[in-house]
């Protein structure tokens, strides 16, 4: 199973700016990770830090990919480090993060660790345009609305015009 620092991987693709485009980009990334896992007969768990003002903890499952939205006060880095510290089977997980502390903790315990940029390159198939639109692997409008709430986009309280 791949254990992925979600925003770390997303920002490896799009850079540190956050805006209204983050929901479709994240959905496309989940689709790519799912396809990658399906092709390799494995699964992934993507951890997402809580967003300021949007505390919607919970887990959603998309075939081979599980997305874990963490509650306020728990970071993806900490959740991944805790998982690695508590797991004895070092073959159970490959950690995907460019955060030195997270990757270092995984490697110190004997787990494989892959930088987000390298993993992202593995998700890009020959002939793919990494900046182009994802193939139709979208989610339902109900799921899209749920993600928009999670990211704090599109509501009447959204004073930033969609930026998070």
- Per residue in 18-61, pLDDT tens? 555 677 888 888 999 999 999 999 999 999 988 766 667 788 88
Cβ–Cβ under 8 Å, residues 138 and 27: yes
| Cα–Cα distance measured from residue 125 to residue 122, given in angstroms and rounded to the nearest whole number | 7
Specify the pLDDT at position 133.
42
The domains of the chain are located at 2-151
Rounded to whole angstroms, the Cα distance separating 26 from 52 reads 18
- Kindly report whether the global pTM for this prediction surpasses the value 0.75: no
Question: Residue 144: its pLDDT value, please?
Answer: 64
Confidence of residue 160 (pLDDT cuts 50, 70, 90): very low
Q: What is the DSSP string of 31-96?
A: HHHHHHHHHHT--EEEEEPPBTTB---EEEEETTEEEEEPPTT--HHHHHHHHHHH---TTS-EEE
Question: Where is pLDDT greater, at 153 or 120?
Answer: 120
- In this prediction, residue 164 has a pLDDT band, given cuts at 50, 70 and 90, of very low
Residue 149: band (very low, low, confident or very high) from pLDDT cuts 50, 70, 90: low
pLDDT of residue 19: 59
Predicted pLDDT at 116 = 93
Alpha carbon distance 91, 73 (integer Å)? 29
State whether CATH 3.60.21 applies to domain 2-151: no
Mean pLDDT of 88-98: 92
């Amino acid at each position: 199973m791949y254990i992925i620092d979600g925003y770390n991987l997303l920002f490896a693709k799009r850079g540190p700016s956050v805006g209204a485009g983050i929901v479709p980009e994240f959905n496309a990334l989940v689709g790519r990770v799912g396809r990658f896992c399906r092709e390799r007969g494995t699964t992934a768990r993507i951890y997402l830090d809580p967003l300021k003002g949007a505390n919607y903890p919970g887990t959603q499952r998309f075939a081979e990919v599980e997305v874990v939205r963490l509650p306020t006060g728990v970071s993806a880095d900490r959740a991944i480090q805790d998982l690695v510290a508590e797991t004895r089977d070092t073959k159970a997980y490959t950690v995907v993060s460019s955060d030195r502390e997270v990757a270092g903790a995984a490697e110190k315990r004997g787990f494989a660790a892959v930088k987000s940029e390298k993993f992202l390159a593995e998700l890009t198939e020959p002939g793919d345009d990494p900046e182009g639109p994802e193939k139709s692997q979208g989610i339902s409008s109900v799921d899209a609305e749920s993600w928009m709430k999670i990211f704090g986009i599109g509501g009447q309280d959204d004073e930033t015009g969609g930026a998070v």
